[in-house]
Amino acid sequence: MTDLFDSLSPDLEAAKARVSVLHQKLEQLAHAYYTLDAPLVPDAEYDRLFQELQQLESQYPELKSPDSPTQRVGGKPLTGFTPVRHAVPMLSIRTETDTESTGAINFDTRIRKDLGLAKDDPPVEYAAELKFDGLAINLRYQQGVLVQAATRGDGATGEDVTQNIRTIQQIPLRLKGNVPPVLEVRGEIYMRRDDFEKLNERQRSKGEKTFINPRNTAAGAVRQLDPALVKQRPLSFFAYGLGQVEGNIETHWAMPETHTALMQSLSEMGLPVNNECRSVQGADGLIAFHRDIGARRDQFPFDIDGVVYKVNRFDLQQRLGFVTREPRWAVAHKFPAQEQLTVVRGIEVQVGRTGKLTPVAKLEPVFVGGTTVSNATLHNEDEIRRKDVRIGDTVIVRRAGDVIPEVVGIIAERRPLDAMEFVMPRQCPVCGSDAVREEGEVDYRCTGGLFCGAQRKQAMLHFAQRRALDIEGLGEKLVDQLVDSGLIRTLPELYKLGFAKFAALERMADKSAQNLIEALEKSKTTTLQRFIYALGIRHVGEATARDLAKYFGKLDAIMDASVEELLEVNDVGPIVAQTIRNFFDQPHNREVVEQLRATGVTWPEHDSQRLTSFLPFSGKTFVLTGTLPALSRDQAKALIENAGGKVAGSVSKKTNYVVAGEEAGSKLIKAEELGINILNEEKFLTLLNSTSQAFNTSKITQEDS
């Protein structure tokens, strides 16, 4: 953005022209930010322009006008809401943009001067708290009951959003204890970062528009005309002050003498108050608070862009009063911005532990959110298309907390003529296997799960888990060592390492190494169901692995099955069938399977049982409850499923049998109420044996015929 003022002589006429330009630009940016919830530039860019205007108006007071952006608090009310005239104006506080300790010193110096304090007078006591990045709100309680909620609006008039605010669980509809007849509580509506990420992940999974940042998402939610939509947005609230207070206060509530005491009182009423609000002494206390919060800024689950200092005693606040649009007794002390402008130098694709392909922007390094950022996630192909990000673009990059930096938008007017569009690769950049995007999904995934280097650790951990090949002792730390040291590149190599290699690993005693060797040897004898599950094929869980093993009987039959044949398996739909086919279409995956067989991993196989109606418990639903005398829950479940039955978690009219042991609870009671057959362990085994015999007889008869 060209700085026109630098190119003009500092005379009144030039200053007047620049002020006019700044008025128009700041109004445009404010409208996009506050009214449209679609910021055009990072906060840091807006602050720079605002400071320039303040400087010019200070240098040329005759240029300050009532319609200047420096004289207004926020945007005008939306026409879709009923206007609310604030009984006490919702004024903003002055922002100290000097992010160093001198910003706190300057504020303390002004306060001491305005209070007429000498150098040797005691330090001023301040309330120091967080500056939340959300939407200011005024909650009006009458006789302790919430009757109205209004946005700040332009400071004098806001909009009635009571129905929307009622959907926020943190905001009490009735206050606790004795409260004034009329009490207006002011605070901030915000959205936690984890809630924001989950919301965007849901949006991405549905292929819908994602949101730019928590602040604008919260503001947009509050302004929704339909409260049902607001309820779908995870909003939160912190109280930080008062508006109007009326009635015989003495008989209801003793007004605290300090701001910190007020926060404690509001908390006792049931209002959420952030526990970082504290009392500090003088400039040194302010500096220490600013540094402490700045160092811990990323640890908070919500965004802040600074801290707020307030003279703690209310009588001193009254003495200090206001100047134009701001109280003299408070200031917001900013931190470095968490959004900045930079240039995309390239776009690379990273492959995650689960095979997900994520495009990542390679950026011109920029300092944002307290660190230098050179990479930022672009999430997926749809996000790149929606944001229209191209190589060479100037973009807004955001970093907040431990969230991965992301590109949130572009500056269209800065796009160069040679900006290049990005094309998502159709092969994994790590192993060369096909990268596919399933129907209804937004992400491309590598199909070379057993071979792909990026998925190596995840594949091994899954392969070794208890319900797969159950390799006891092969946990995350050990897998990290094996892979990071280069000892293992593929699963079959697990079975080729000897005792000496394992014993030489860090914190691996001889006994542990020997136990691992024995566990690996034991895991070689498994079942087809467990082996299929251990391969880690996407969408293939234990139940699907069991159904595949039963239906086809042999691994080669599964590996060679067409999509149409796979669709004949119980509960296997088009997406799962195609995923299985894609997995075994990769030569790398087939090679790993054959190498595992060559190491001695084996399982019993049988002829195809495609006529699943022959299974003795086929079509029967069982529910297990209580503790059985001899069988574990897993053993009983396996017996039922191997006989073709299904084990459900709850009792319903569709349940055929409930197998009950000791301390059976509500499931047994419900089964009795519904008249469902109840079996103890002995009767269950008897039923299994009798139906199995009948099954075998029926099968022989059909085979003979």
Question: How far is the C-alpha of 130 from the C-alpha of 274, rounded, in Å?
Answer: 8
Residue 475 tokens read as 């946990």
Give SS3 for 348. strand
Strand order in the sheet with 330-334: 94-96, 330-334, 304-311, 125-132, 278-281
CA neighbor of 102 nearest in space, from 331, 315, 301 = 331
Rounded CA-CA distance 629/665 in Å is 16
What is the 8-class DSSP label of residue 209? P
Give helix 633-642 / helix 681-704 axis angle, nearest 10°: 20
Q: Using the structure block, give the residue that is written with the tokens 């362990």.
A: 681
Grouping H, G, I as helix, E, B as strand and the rest as coil, residue 249 is helix
DSSP-assigned states of every residue in 589-622: HHHHHHHHHHTT-B---------GGGSTTTT-EE
CA 464, CA 476: separation in Å to the nearest integer?
Answer: 10
- Using CA atoms, how far apart are residues 697 and 692, in angstroms rounded to an integer? 9
Burial 500-509 (b: 16+ CB within 10 A, else e): eebbebeebe
Q: Which residues fall within 8 angstroms of residue 244, CB to CB, at 6 or more apart?
A: 87, 88, 140, 182, 183, 184
- Identify the CA nearest to 660 among candidates 686, 690, 633: 633
Phi and psi torsions of 31, nearest 5°: -65, -45
Question: Do 450 and 459 contact (CB within 8 A), yes or no?
Answer: yes
Structure tokens at 394: 């100037």
Single-letter residue type at 148: Q
Q: Which two tokens stand for residue 145?
A: 């009951």
CA 291 to chain centre: 27
Q: Please state, in angstroms and as integers, the Cα–Cα distance from residue 250 to each residue in 245, 255, 542, 664, following that order.
A: 12, 8, 67, 58
Compute CA distances 23 → 10, 26, 98, 612, whole Å: 18, 5, 23, 76
Q: Kindly report the backbone phi and psi dihedral angles of residue 410, in degrees, each rounded to the nearest multiple of 5, phi listed first.
A: -115, 160
Estimate the crossing angle of helix 193-205 against helix 214-222, to 10 degrees: 80
Distance CA 317, CA 87 (A): 19
CA-nearest of 339, 340, 320, 338 to 330 is 320
d(CA 595, CA 40): 56
Give CB contacts under 8 A, 24+ apart, made by 629-633.
Answer: 629/661, 629/662, 629/681, 630/681, 631/681
Tokens of 328: 């003299």
Angle at 638 between CA 637 and CA 643, to 5 degrees: 100
Closest to 603 (Cα-Cα) out of 517, 529, 493: 529
Given the residues 64, 119, 131, 231, the one annotated as active site: 131
**Which phi and psi (to 5°) does residue 160 adopt?**
-80, 115
131 annotated active-site: yes
User: Which pair of structure tokens corresponds to residue 528?
Assistant: 């087809």
Alpha-carbon gap, residue 48 to 480, rounded angstroms: 47
Catalytic positions are 131
